[in-house]
Structure 1
Amino acid sequence: MPPFVIEPLSNHDRANFSCGVESLDAYFRKQVTQDMRRRVTSCFVAVDDEGKRLAGYYTLSAGGVVLTDLPEAQKKRLPLYPLVPVARLGRLVVDKNYQGQKLGAALLWDAFERASHVELLAFALIVDAKDAKAKAFYERFGFFSFGSTPPQLMLPLKKGQ
């Protein structure tokens, strides 16, 4: 696996990026910069340090979950506010040429680290799993289902929660 640099999306060339899912490719090529300008998401990209190609990306945004949707083990450690602040992992995507090289895990780790160290605090990293394969991927890293929306998974940002 070539070395990668993970950095905020800026003027990177996205024209040749392809993960094999047209909706995710189209979002990356056409929509993500608008969402960033509107301040509704941040986007981070993995750049192949050798070829300077974009190898993957993920998006993070702020969100909230209803306290009553959380598992009892998490609820008892939190103040009784109606909503709990979270960081939402919107998309995590790897280009076809880099799939199977553990880049998804590296991007997930980077998202976790960024969400854990932002000045606006969040209790957990939340993701909506697109399908069973995505759900299994996130569960391997400790995410678990919660609430009334089945594809929604959570990973507390602080150990022991």
Structure 2
Amino acid sequence: MPAFAYTIELLNSGHNRVDFRCGTEVLDRYLREQAGQDLRRYVATPFVLHDLDTNQIAGYYTLAATSIQVEDLPEALRARLPRYPLVPATLLGRFAVDERFQGQGLGAFLLVDVLWRILMSEIATMAVVVDAKNEQARAFYQHHGFTMFPGQPQRLYLPMASIARQFS
């Protein structure tokens, strides 16, 4: 839990995006320049962890629809799925915590919000998929139960069945 008063909400024009710095320029630039457009165009849905006292964005993530080619999954999981070529999934596209808030466990806190939000959605999704930007990100996701796609070391997934068990 954050040590400050907060909300997690859809990005809106009242959020201070200019001061956000996570240490990865592409993620900072995305929030400043692209996230609002993606929301308006229904390309991705950005959510922000908003510090109500300082009016700062402590972290953010984006969600979007995607699909997984069933043949890309391990055989043990594939055997339990319908014989469709593709299955629906949710893409956790961007994920970042501002440098001023790092080291407080907010990444794990935000990830719990991601997984809960997807689990509570009324849209079918077989798994959450992420494309880790670097080794540190991959280790973070693996620590939280994500598994690498065979032959794709930076692409990971977490089945909804596992997520449902975590919250039961």
Q: Any runs of at least 4 consecutive aligned residues in structure 1 with deviations exceeding 4 A, and if so which? A: none
Partner of 2:53: 50
User: Are 2:11 and 1:9 aligned?
Assistant: yes
The alpha-carbon deviation at position 116 of structure 1 amounts to: 1.2
Work out the CA distance in 1 between the residues paired with 2:6 and 2:140.
21
Work out the CA distance in 1 between the residues paired with 2:77 and 2:89.
13
Greater helix content: 2
The alpha-carbon deviation at position 107 of structure 1 amounts to: 0.9
Figure out how many residues of one structure are paired with residues of the other and give that number: 160
- What TM-score do the two structures reach when normalised by structure 1? 0.94
User: Are 2:26 and 1:23 aligned?
Assistant: yes
Give 2:106's match in structure 1, choosing from 103, 108, 129: 103
Work out the CA distance in 1 between the residues paired with 2:33 and 2:10.
17
* SS at structure 2 position matched to 1:116: helix
Maintained 8 Å contact 1:46/1:57: yes
After TM superposition, the structure 1 = structure 2 runs for residues 76-95 of structure 1, keeping only pairs within 5 Å, are 76-95=79-98
CA deviation digits over 1:13-66, x for unaligned, max 9? 211111121111111000011111111100000011332311000000000010
Work out the CA distance in 1 between the residues paired with 2:97 and 2:44.
18
Give 2:145's match in structure 1, choosing from 142, 147, 150: 142
Work out the CA distance in 1 between the residues paired with 2:36 and 2:9.
15
Report the residue type matching 1:132 in the other structure.
E
Work out the CA distance in 2 between the residues paired with 1:33 and 1:50.
23
Maintained 8 Å contact 1:128/1:151: yes
Structure 1 residue ranges without an equivalent (≥5): none
Maintained 8 Å contact 1:116/1:158: no
Report the residue type matching 1:74 in the other structure.
L
Work out the CA distance in 2 between the residues paired with 1:158 and 1:3.
32
Q: Percent identity?
A: 46
Maintained 8 Å contact 2:131/2:154: yes
* SS at structure 2 position matched to 1:77: coil
The alpha-carbon deviation at position 3 of structure 1 amounts to: 3.9
User: Are 2:89 and 1:73 aligned?
Assistant: no
Structure 2 residue ranges without an equivalent (≥5): none
